[in-house]
Amino acid sequence: MAFEGLAERLQHTIDKMKSRGKVTEKDVKEMMREVRLALLEADVNFKVVKKFVNDVKERAVGQEVMKSLTPGQQVIKVVNDELTKLMGGEQSKIAHAQKPPTVVMMVGLQGAGKTTTTAKLANHLRKHHNRQPMMVACDIYRPAAIDQLETLGKELNMPVFSMGDKEKAVNIATKAIEQAKEDHRDYVLIDTAGRLHVDEALMNELVEIKEAVNPDEILLVVDAMTGQDAVNVAESFHESLGITGVVLTKLDGDTRGGAALSVKAVTGTPIKFAGMGEKIDQLEPFHPDRMASRILG
């Protein structure tokens, strides 16, 4: 499970703080030194850590203590609030267009979990939002991706629009939306091509699709296991494409979790969902407050 190391380290620090009847500025400083080290060790971006520590110190020192809390608990509450804020504050929901279909472009590097997440999201929308999605196979360079999406579509009994791998991705996407309108599907989830690294040809193709289909949502799928690289990937996709949300996958793995804690702060783009396993129903809306509580115990 993600964050285990971080949670363990922070809980030790927090336990020491909890019982304090009186908290001095020195105590807060000491605690924050440990929090800082724990976050850096969890691979959180150093700029993010610096700002976080300063924000907590500023709020924690010299504030009135609430009657219901001990001073120690109050400092922990500040850490919890700031951690929630860092990860985006309120839960950020998926777009819903006034006029259907809502068009969602799924983008990301190869292996991040894009195709799997497309199917997971389609399943989530139908199961929890009563929507009727259609999936679109636009990853024409990895032939297995088309088969994979079609297989997932069959499993879910969900339509998959595909034109094989000979047609241009932008044409497939455009045709798919016409089809979705005809069939009264209310969400169109476009699985686009990934590469091993961010490159210009990939971005150009994605920009071309974006311009043609005018998506309501561009979700970047990133692998939480890749740590700081996930943050860099998010930054470059955001720069070229203007993403509207992030799906962090593989949070069930033993990632140190730094990516989850940095990606919103660095890109300004909210994390909307978290992948918690390989199975189709292992996708969860990302709740910053719950994640913060999980980390702080």
Positions that interact with ligand GDP (CB under 6 A): 108, 110-116, 145, 194, 249-250, 252-253, 275-278
Nearer to ligand GDP, 75 or 224 (CB): 224
Residues making up the annotated binding site are 108-115, 191-195, 249-252
Asked if 233 and 262 count as a contact pair (C-beta separation under 8 A), the reply is: no
- The residue (of 178 and 278) whose beta carbon lies closer to ligand GDP is 278
Contact (Cβ atoms closer than 8 angstroms) between residue 283 and residue 276? yes
Residue placing its CB nearer to ligand GDP in the complex, 35 or 188: 188
- Residue ranges at the known binding site for GTP: 108-115, 191-195, 249-252
Q: What ranges in the chain are assigned the alpha helix state H?
A: 4-18, 25-41, 46-60, 71-86, 114-129, 143-156, 169-182, 200-213, 228-241, 258-267, 288-296
CB of 175 to ligand GDP, least distance (A): 21
Q: Are the CB atoms for 205 and 107 separated by under 8 Å? A: no
Q: Please list, in sequence order, all residues whose beta carbon lies within 8 angstroms of the beta carbon of residue 86, skipping any fewer than 6 positions away.
A: 48, 52, 261, 264, 265, 288
DSSP 125-191: HHHHH---EEEEE---SSHHHHHHHHHHHHHHT--EE-BTBTS-HHHHHHHHHHHHHHTT-SEEEEE
Q: Quote the tokens at residue 84.
A: 């929630």
> Taking the complex as a whole, how short is the minimal distance between the CB of residue 250 and ligand GDP, in angstroms?
4
Shortest distance (Å) from residue 116 CB to ligand GDP: 3
Q: How far apart are CA 123 and CA 120, in angstroms?
A: 5
Q: Output 244 or 249, the one with its CB closest to ligand GDP.
A: 249
Of the two residues 251 and 295, which places its CB atom closer to ligand GDP in the complex? Answer: 251
Q: How far is the CB of 64 from ligand GDP (least distance, A)?
A: 43
Residues 57 and 205: their CA atoms lie apart, in Å, by: 45
CB of residue 211 vs ligand GDP: minimum separation in angstroms? 23
Report in angstroms how near the CB of residue 44 gets to ligand GDP at its nearest: 20
Using Cβ positions, the residue closest to ligand GDP within the complex turns out to be 275
Contact 254, 261 (CB under 8 A): no
